[in-house]
Amino acid sequence: MMRSTWRDRDRQDFQKHLPDGITTQQHLAQALHATRTDNKPIPGFNPNVDHVQYYRAQQGIDCDEVYPGIYIGDAATAKNIEYLKMLGITHLLNAAQGKKFGFVNTDESYYINTTIKYLGLPLADLLTTDISKYFYTAAAFIDEAVSTGGKAFVHCMLGISRSATCVLAYLMIKKGMLAVDAIRTVRKNRNVQPNSGFLYQLAQLDNQLRRQRL
């Protein structure tokens, strides 16, 4: 009986009319293309320091703070434990955990000698991948870091699609941002590009959240 009641409520939420119209994949793609990424120094490094060893330490680092306490980066940076410690990372989300091509082969054991809390999601960067089933899991994990004064590092292979989608879901679910505003916030700080399948799922999430708030 209870299950039927929840299904009826879900159906009613889905049928609610959105005064401003539904969000589509095209709307989010337009927001991406219309938002320019600022050129900023690598987090954790002082741009005013002019020293050879300091420059060398920055080589191979691909990381940007896209929201206070939230960083998006690539696989190589995620494996750079010294850099993660320097940033003060407390939580690390690997949105591409796996051993196949296009995945990042790390797990909890890689960070066993650190205090970093780890979460791995086995996501392929494909249009058909259902990333939406992890939206609330990723959002809760990132929120655990930020809400306790910690820092979250979210990555995939390149830090462009899977990781960015997880952060966008967090901003929508936990910070109440509309999808377009979340995209503008992240894209302004890093040149992200979620694949079109992920954009479609973010649009669906946006519509769902907007209906719940009516």
If pLDDT is split at 50, 70 and 90, which confidence band does 54 have?
low
Q: Is 166 a catalytic residue?
A: no
Mind listing the pLDDT tens digit for each residue in 123-178? 999 999 999 999 999 999 999 999 999 999 999 999 999 999 999 999 999 999 99
Residue 208 to residue 206: CA distance in whole angstroms: 5
* Tens-place pLDDT, residues 60-91: 899 999 999 999 999 999 999 999 999 999 99
Confidence at residue 214, expressed as pLDDT on a 0 to 100 scale: 87
CA proximity to 138, closest of 119, 125, 157, 115: 119
Q: Which residues pair with 70 in a beta bridge?
A: 67, 152
Secondary structure of the chain: what % helix, strand, coil (to 5)?
50, 10, 40
CA distance 30 to 15: 26
- Among candidate residues 72, 104, 156, 209, the one labeled active-site is 156
Mean pLDDT of the chain, nearest integer: 91
